[in-house]
Amino acid sequence: MIRPLLTEAGCLRRQALLREAMERSGWDLFLTGNPRTIYTFTAALVPLEQPALLLADTRGGSLLLAPAAAGAFVTEIADVPVYSPVRPVVSPILDAASMLRARLPDGRQRMGVELASTPAAALAGLGERVTVEDATLAVLELRRTKQEDEGAEIRRGLALNAIAYDAARRTIRPGLSELELHAAMSLAVAGELGTAIPLAGDFACGMRSLKEGGAPVSRVIRQGELCVLDLFIAPAYYFGDTCRTFCAGTPDAAQLEAWRLVRDVLLRTSETLRPGVRAAEFYEGVRAALDAGPVARGTFWHHAGHGIGCQGHEAPRLIPESPDVVREGDIIAVEPAVYVEALRGGLRLENTFQVGAAGAVSLFDYPLDLDLL
């Protein structure tokens, strides 16, 4: 079982910010069925496949309807059974919706709802006394600035990334499949946590990594290929996003030239990523720096980075048409890269940074080298 790191003080602070947002919008109530949002506000770690509804009001009341949610930082918890050895549990979310309707206050209410991720069944039968308005963008704005306990969740994911990279560097060799590599990394993470969790990330090696990512396949790693391992492990919904590239053998001169270029661009992030910088401007700076290297010119095809938190990609998004501006307190993953067939694979390096008043500080202190253990 995963131990939540979110604290009572952090959750109550975020609930207070939610109530302020509700008052600004004129909402009497707030409702979400998004387990990630629920965890952010209550520290109730409800699996994505299970029913969960959080109802909050502007007076400080909060009701959580979810299975086995004891310990959540709310004023009331109502258990929603997902299994019974006696009676059939046909649809737990319909049961939760019925329980919600029974607990709604009397009178006409305006309700902000995170519509993008709240089941429609939760809203059925509310009747004319409840006016529903979309609160999705308000929730995303609230989640952008991370509290100290949220940073602890992100750092836990980053620490597990380091465990996985150590396992990869001990395991990678010609003749090994991507599936076998993933299994070794997954086992190392499970051993550290004491339980198994999904090992999310990109595991494409060799030529497959030039334009692909995602789950590992049965493809066998060849001598001298580059293995691009982009990990975004989230034991409790908060992601720790990093990437390292390792060589299945001794790196050649061209691979080392590309590695030095990408490494230098990443290291400059500490100075270039600061409050007030436009996300599109930062992207252009990364692309220009990579294009200045003959080995990389014109090969960088994806984003330069993105905010992280409960979602793998949050604001600010470092892409050409982004309207975002970097803020103090943002936690952002930055990932310059080179993709050239002659290198026998892509070469991407990524760290997660926290933006301060004077610049950015990397939250991931792990070697950037191509070498194995």
Q: Are residues 181 and 302 in the same domain?
A: yes
Q: What CATH number did the domain enclosing 26 receive?
A: 3.40.350.10
152 and 100, same structural domain?
A: no
> How many Å apart are CA 199 and CA 195, to the nearest integer?
12
- The domain boundary, picked from 80, 114, 143, lies at 143
Percent of the chain with pLDDT over 90: 88
pLDDT for 215 beyond 80:
yes
Residues 118 and 267 in one domain: no
pLDDT recorded at residue 129: 85
90-146 pLDDT, tens digit per residue, is 899 999 999 999 999 888 999 999 999 999 999 988 888 899 999 999 999 999 989
Quick one: average pLDDT of 323-334? 96
Check whether residue 131 and residue 201 sit in a common domain: no
Q: How confident is the model at residue 371 (pLDDT cuts 50, 70, 90)?
A: very high
What integer pLDDT is reported at residue 277 of this predicted model?
A: 96
d(CA 231, CA 272): 24
Q: Do the bridges between strand 29-32 and strand 109-113 make them parallel or antiparallel, or are there none, so unpaired?
A: parallel
The yes-or-no verdict on residue 373 having pLDDT over 80 is no
What does the block give as tokens for 83? Answer: 């299994």
DSSP string, 153-215: HHHHHHHHHHHHHHHHHHH--TT-BHHHHHHHHHHHHHHHHTS-----EE--BGGGGGT--SS
The answer to whether the CB of 239 falls within 8 A of the CB of 232 is: yes
Q: Does 192 share its domain with 323?
A: yes
In a domain, 276, yes or no: yes
Indicate whether 253 and 337 sit together in one domain.
Answer: yes
Residue 225 lies in a domain: yes
Q: Are residues 206 and 236 in the same domain?
A: yes
pLDDT in tens, 181-194: 999 999 999 999 99
pLDDT band of residue 1 (cuts 50, 70, 90) is confident
Q: Kindly report the CATH number assigned to the domain that includes residue 216.
A: 3.90.230.10
Structural domains of the chain, count:
2
CA separation for the pair 328, 194 (Å, rounded)? 35
Please indicate, yes or no, whether residues 171 and 277 belong to a single structural domain of this protein: yes
197 and 345, same domain (yes or no): yes
**SS3 of residue 228 by DSSP:** strand
pLDDT of residue 248: 98
Residue 75 forms part of a structural domain: yes
Q: Are 123 and 263 part of one and the same domain? A: no
pLDDT band at 207 (very low <50, low <70, confident <90, very high): very high
* Domain boundary pick from 143, 161, 190: 143
Residues 131 and 218 in one domain: no
Average pLDDT value for the chain: 95
* pLDDT score recorded for residue 126: 86
pLDDT surpasses 80 at 214: yes
pLDDT in tens, 258-287: 999 999 999 999 889 999 999 999 999 999
Is residue 326 in some structural domain? Answer: yes
For residue range 151-189, list pLDDT tens digits in order.
999 999 999 999 999 999 999 999 999 999 999 999 999
At 204, the pLDDT band (50, 70, 90 cuts) reads very high
pLDDT score, position 127: 82
pLDDT at residue 87 in the model: 86
The pTM assigned to this predicted structure is 0.94
Q: What average pLDDT does the segment 311-333 reach?
A: 95
Binned at pLDDT 50, 70 and 90, residue 42 comes out as very high
Q: What is the extent of the structural domain holding 46?
A: 8-143
Q: In this structure, is residue 370 part of a structural domain?
A: no
Kindly state whether residues 78 and 176 are assigned to the same domain: no
Average pLDDT, integer, range 217-233: 97
Could you tell me if residue 51 is inside a domain?
Answer: yes
Q: Is 355 exposed, middle or buried (0-12, 13-18, 19+ CB in 10 A)?
A: buried
For residue 33, tell me if it sits in a domain: yes
Last residue of a domain, one of 143, 161, 176: 143
